[in-house]
Chains A and B, each alone.
Chain A
Amino acid sequence: MSAPLPRVVQLFPTCLVNELLPEVAIAAVERLERAGLRVEVPAGLTCCGQPAWNAGFAAEAKAVARRTLAILAATQGPIVIPSGSCGDMLIHQMVELFRDEPKAVAQARVIASRCVELTALLATLPAVSTPGGSMAAAAPSAPLAASGAQKRLRVAYHPSCHLTRGLGVREAPLELLRATPGVELVPLDRSEECCGFGGLFSVKQPDLSGAMLDAKCRALEASGAEVVASCDAGCLLHLAGGLRRRGATMRACHVVELLRRDEP
């Protein structure tokens, strides 16, 4: 066998995915490896600094962001980010954050040019036709994987704000879902409207954020979906928490978790 050497990508798990939604990063690893890429996870990565930056705490954001940039700068290849807002932070906001520091800005620009949101990357890779063997088995849980019986899962896609309006990634997640046989995409009314997460906004303005969440949950329930898929850990935690609070049976998961449904 003379398979070409796999290209290396760096996976930045992001703080929320790492701690609260590890299944997203695990699914990402699995998917990337099935596409023939070698995945590396830079040691010691924590957070991009977005929570503090969005709250106006520039010094605190800088401390975290500076460290993250340094770790990423020591690696090579594309940096894959499984969360739209973290992607926007790395690709657009870092330059603004460090604008008074020419050296840091230069580094941030280089890093930004290497960053790619997970689904935007997956959509450019050749379609994966064969299941990934050992990798699928390595996942500790695969609650959404097809169980063999090909019942199509009704999925509503929530385009998160920073992914669409920040990064301009609109079609990639939809293309991936459409290409997944086990998934039936259902339309979602006012899909591009914010779910009300907004980081610290959800804690500091709970009533406002809650009202926005309610509006989104009502639209989701009206869509008839069994699952809401998105590409941002913050939105997913917000949606899942809101749906649970309402007693809804709908689950929330990352788009990449659903791509397993193309397995026979």
Chain B
Amino acid sequence: MSTGLGGGGPSPFVQRVRKALADESLHVALGRATAQLQSRRAHAFASLDDADVVRAHARAGKLAALRTLDVQLEAFERRLVENGTTVHWARDAEEACATIVAIAQSRGCRRAVKGKSMATEEVELNGALQAAGIEVVESDLGEYVVQLDHDRPSHIILPILHRTREQVGRIFERELAVDYTPDPATLARIARERLRERFLAADLGITGANFGVVESGTLCIVSNEGNVRMSTSLPRVHVALLGIDKLVPTLADLDAALKVLARSATGQKSTVYVSLVNGPRRSVAEEGPEEVHVVLLDHRRTRTLAGETAEMLACIRCGACLNACPVFQQIGGHAYGSIYPGPMGSVLTPTMRGLAEFEQLPQASSLCGACKEVCPIGIDLPRMLLALRRESVATLPIAPSLRAAMRLWSFVMTRPRWLRLARRLARAWASRFASNGWLRRLPGPFAGWTAHRDARLPVAPSFDEWWAARERTERGAPR
């Protein structure tokens, strides 16, 4: 921490924040994109009759699946197997990667195309595949640019939210040896041509899944570019990696969830493609892959289910909370140091990767509640950020000066006499330094405040002093 409340120099998080705040082109890109996404979202919900009912249905479906998750997962597995799908279970990131690499190797797959998937980002699958000698190409346009640029996605829906079209043009020029152009349509055409070759050559398609429907054993994957359909139908093997939190009990629940997902994510009434995968092709005469594998990923989700942040597992990864978050709007996704940024990431990342390393994320919120307001599932994100802050205080070595300050505050606030003494001291001190009731610089732990704002000083008389004086006057001379 940089504030004197903690020890040492600025944390990596604070350094990333400063870097982001100083990045002008990032600021422009973020401002434009988040404003547009927010207004599109608002319009899209305005076009939905009974939006509150649909949201409540979507929430109920997700929570119903979580409440009986063990039973739901077993039922889902049974349906998948009935559909001819092979089911694998992965406890953590390593197991997930090892499982998928093993599937690829045992089937002799060498060339993979991927649909956009946060779960595969979460387990860092690309690195594992490449280490095993399997070529992997991202087929979502944004992810494709990220991959070309050896970058990381900065938003769970729009991976290159942090890039301007000019920057994308330069990346294409450099990595694909094409003439520079900032024209999105031309850039998309170039990517399509390149990707088409990869689709036709691929023997392995890898996707995530937005939902797993328990009653039918269906994987639902949404996309806008058709790349998911290609990834799930052209290669002879399809592997889908999904967190165990992705279940909805019924197709009716799926319907409600899809209605709020597209509206929340991109302001669409529906995504351009909604792929429903019900296992491999039944005969050689049919289209589709010969084999479908589903890898169900835990990665601390079971542990989360038992804790204070369990509701976070109902998240459908729409990204609306990112767009609405005034902190995300300032710093973008990379500053969070995790593929899950913004409010949802500030809850998910510490629960998945450890609070000790990501203690600052739950702190990086003014608790303004904009995230909770736009969440289509109504997840109470501020409540969970508070729970994680309490966990920090209870389990981590918080700066002794902060601990002492809170104890002192509590002591004084429960003893009005001490409060009056503190007030007198503050006034005496302030009278030496203040101009017109305001200070330009505060000492010690409060220096953070005066880094950006003047500080108001205790006013004499305080309200309770004014009130006491008035009471005395009135008793002396009744109105």
Give A contacts to B, CB under 8 Å. 13, 15, 17-23, 25-26, 29, 41, 44, 46-47, 49, 51-61, 63-64, 67, 96, 134, 138, 140, 161-162, 165-166, 192-194, 196-199, 201-215, 237-238, 240-242, 244-245
**Chain B proximity of A195: nearest CB distance (Å):** 8
30 contacts between A and B (CB under 8 A): A19-B458, A21-B456, A22-B462, A22-B463, A25-B463, A41-B467, A46-B414, A46-B416, A54-B386, A56-B388, A63-B414, A140-B466, A166-B369, A193-B368, A194-B326, A194-B366, A197-B366, A202-B449, A203-B445, A204-B1, A204-B363, A205-B364, A206-B452, A209-B452, A210-B451, A210-B453, A214-B452, A242-B452, A242-B454, A245-B440
Q: A247 → chain B, closest Cβ, in Å?
A: 10
A215 to B14, CA, bound (A): 19
- Give Cα A215–Cα B386 distance, bound, in whole angstroms: 25
Give Cα A23–Cα B463 distance, bound, in whole angstroms: 7
Q: Return the chain A residue nearest B387 by Cβ.
A: A56
Q: Mark B419-460, 1 if CB is under 8 A from A, else 0.
A: 100010000000000000010100001101101111111110
Inter-chain contacts of A55 with B (CB < 8 A): 389, 393, 402, 406
Query: A56 touching B367 by the CB < 8 A rule?
Result: no
Whether A241 contacts B455 by the Cβ 8 Å rule is: yes
Give bound CA distance, A57 to B454, whole Å.
27
Q: Does B461 sit at the interface, judged by CB under 8 A?
A: yes
Bound form: Cα–Cα A166–B370 in Å = 10
Pairwise interchain contact A13-B463, C-beta atoms closer than 8 A:
yes
Chain B residues 37-79 with CB under 8 Å of chain A are none
Tell me the bound Cα distance from A18 to B393 in angstroms. 29
- Which residues of A are found within 8 Å of B18, using beta-carbon distances? 207
- Contact, CB under 8 Å: A46 / B470: no
| Interchain nearest-CB distance for B54 vs A (Å) | 21
Most-contacted residue by chain A among B414, B423, B455, B462 (CB, 10 A): B414
Q: Are A211 and B455 in contact (CB under 8 A)?
A: no
CA–CA, A56 to B445, complex, Å? 17
**B369 lies within 8 A of A161 (CB):** yes
Tally of chain B residues near chain A (CB < 8 A) = 64
Which of B402, B453, B461 has the largest number of chain A CB atoms within 10 A?
A: B453
CA separation between A238 and B87, bound complex, in Å? Answer: 55
Q: Min CB distance, B23 to chain A, in Å?
A: 12
- A206 & B3 in contact (Cβ 8 Å cutoff): yes
Residues of chain B within 8 A of A23, CB atoms compared? 459
List the A side residues contacting B448 at CB < 8 Å: 202-206
Contact B462 A18 (CB under 8 A): yes
B462 in contact with A165 (CB, 8 Å) = no
Q: Report whether B456 and A237 are in contact in the complex, using a CB–CB cutoff of 8 Å.
A: yes
Question: Which residues from chain A contact B451 at a C-beta distance below 8 Å?
Answer: 206-207, 210
Within 8 Å CB of A197, what residues of B? 366
CA distance A242 to B454 in the complex (A): 6
Known contacts A19-B458, A22-B459, A52-B406: does B467 contact A211 (CB below 8 Å)?
A: no
Given A193-B370, A211-B330, are A19 and B406 also a contact pair (CB < 8 Å)? no
**Residue B383 CB within 8 A of the other chain:** yes
| B392 is an interface residue with CB less than 8 A from chain A | yes
Residue among A47, A193, A238, A241 with the most chain B CB within 10 A? A241
Residue in B363, B391, B464 whose beta carbon sits within 8 Å of that of A41 in the complex: B464
Is there contact, CB below 8 Å, between B331 and A208? yes
By secondary structure, the A interface counts as: helix
Kindly state whether residue B194 has any CB partner on chain A within 8 Å.
no
Contact B461 A22 (CB under 8 A): yes
Looking across the interface, which residue of chain A has its beta carbon closest to that of B6? A204
Q: Does B305 contact A (CB under 8 A)?
A: no
Residues of A within 8 A of B409 (CB): 51-52, 60
Are B449's CB and A208's CB within 8 A? Answer: no
With A60-B409, A241-B453, A244-B438 in contact, do A208 and B367 touch (Cβ < 8 Å)? no
Residue of B nearest to A51 (CB): B409
> For A22, what are the chain B residues with a Cβ–Cβ distance below 8 Å?
459, 461-463, 466
**Measured CA separation A255–B463 after assembly (Å):** 17
* Interface residue from A13, A51, A211 paired with B464 (Cβ < 8 Å): A13
A60 close to B410 (CB less than 8 A):
yes
Question: Counting CB contacts under 8 A, is B475 at the interface?
Answer: no
Contact present for B423 and A53 (CB under 8 Å): no
Q: By the criterion CB–CB under 8 Å, are A213 and B453 in contact?
A: yes
Annotate B348-366 by CB proximity to A: 1 below 8 A, 0 otherwise: 0000000000000001111
- A15: which of B367, B388, B413, B454 is its contact (CB, 8 Å)? B413
A58-B390, A161-B368, A208-B17 in contact; A18/B453 too (CB < 8 A)? no
Query: In the complex the two chains form, what is the Cα distance from A98 to B406 in whole Å?
Result: 18
User: Given A46-B416, A64-B413 in contact, is the A161-B464 Cβ separation under 8 Å?
Assistant: no
B92 within 8 A of A: no
B456 adjacent to A241 (CB under 8 Å): yes
